[in-house]
Every structure is written in C-alpha cells, then in structure tokens.
Amino acid sequence: MITVYHAKNTRSMRVLWVLEELGVKAEIKSLPFPPSKLQPDYLAINPTGTVPALVDGSVQLTESMAICEYLAAKHGPSLLVGPDDPARSEFVQWLWYGESTLMTPLSRMATVTRLGRKGADIDAVLDDARGNAVVRLAALEQRLEGRDFLVAGRLTLADISAGYPLHLVGLFGMDHLLGPRSTAYRERLRSRPAYQRAISVD
C-alpha cells in the first residue's frame, strides 16, 4: 500500500491530485503544519520535515514532483511526455517552472505570512516577492496564448506542478495578478473532479 504524508494547502495537494487522476488508492496521513514543530515523529519519515512524503514498499520520496513523476510512470504514462516526444523539452521546462520559478516568490510570501512578522524589512521582502510573482505569472499568461494546457495539448504533470502555485495565488488573495488566460486555465484545472477531490482532503 502507498502511504502519502499530507498537510492541507501544501504541495502534497499535487500528489493527491495525481493519485486521483490516475485512480490509484493510497493511505493518506494528514499532518498538522508545520509537522517538524507539531508532529516531530514525522522527522523519522522525512528528516527535513517537509510535506509531501511518499512510502511505497522500499521506495521513500520527499519531493512533490518526484513523487508525481514516480506515480505517473508506475501507474500510467498519461500525465507524462516521453523522451521521444517533440514536446518533451517544453514539458521538462514547465515542470520545473511550477516548482522553482513560480514557487520561489510564493514560498517567501507563505513564510512571511506564517511567521506573522511586521516591519520595513518584512515589507521589502514582500514587495520583492510580489514583483517577482508578477513577472513570473506574466510569462505563464504568455505561454497560455492559444493553449488550454501548458504542453502537448493535454493535462500533464507540468499543469499539476503549476496548479499548486496558482492555488496559493488564490489563497493569498492575489487573483488580480492573473491575466484572463491564466484565470481561465486555473478554472480549467479546478473544474476537474480529480482536482476537487484532492483539494477537499483535510
């Protein structure tokens, strides 16, 4: 049996979403956030204390997109773009764009929000993060011109990667930063039954 360690509104939503898209059953262990402080025994599973983590027999993974890739490769290739596909390089680019380029400023905002600190230095960090987010979301908006999905004309892990930072944009009350194509794209992702089931897990 696959076990996934999850906390609401974290990157583990990507893993739950992939499980739902693939129709794969798993035991979901929901943790308080941040687990390193509120459930320190989780450090035995993932010493960095981050979620998600996956345990599947002898396989133990702690990177959300690595877990998604593992599940997609094992249970059905439909969310992947293979090495011989002409869209492969774009797939890899957008796979990383979601977790690195889009997530970096949003992670900074999430940390500042969670710590609840105030002051000029904090404002400077937030302004910088917001500025980065604007530019990075604009590149997403441009990519979506004439496209329903980021690559290959269908849902792939690249969309699931980007779907989490777009979820955070909503949580942080920053929907005004999304252009019309990105807004429609996020709606397209959100309207999927698999997304809805994943996001509703506490």
CA distance 202 to 194: 15
| Site size toward ligand GSH, by CB under 6 A | 12
Largest Cα span, the chain: 52
Nearer of residues 51 and 152 to ligand GSH, judged by Cβ: 51
- Residue 99 in contact with ligand GSH, rule: CB under 6 A: yes
Identity of residue 166? L
Site string for ligand GSH, 30-69 (x = CB under 6 A): ----x-x------------xxxx----------xxx----
Q: At closest approach, how far in Å is the CB of 102 from ligand GSH?
A: 12
- Residue 11 in contact with ligand GSH, rule: CB under 6 A: yes
- Specify whether the CB–CB gap between 5 and 46 falls below 8 A: yes
Residue with tokens 């960090």, as numbered in its chain: 125
Helix or strand run (H / E) with residue 7 = none
Binding site for ligand GSH (CB under 6 A): 10-11, 34, 36, 49-52, 63-65, 99
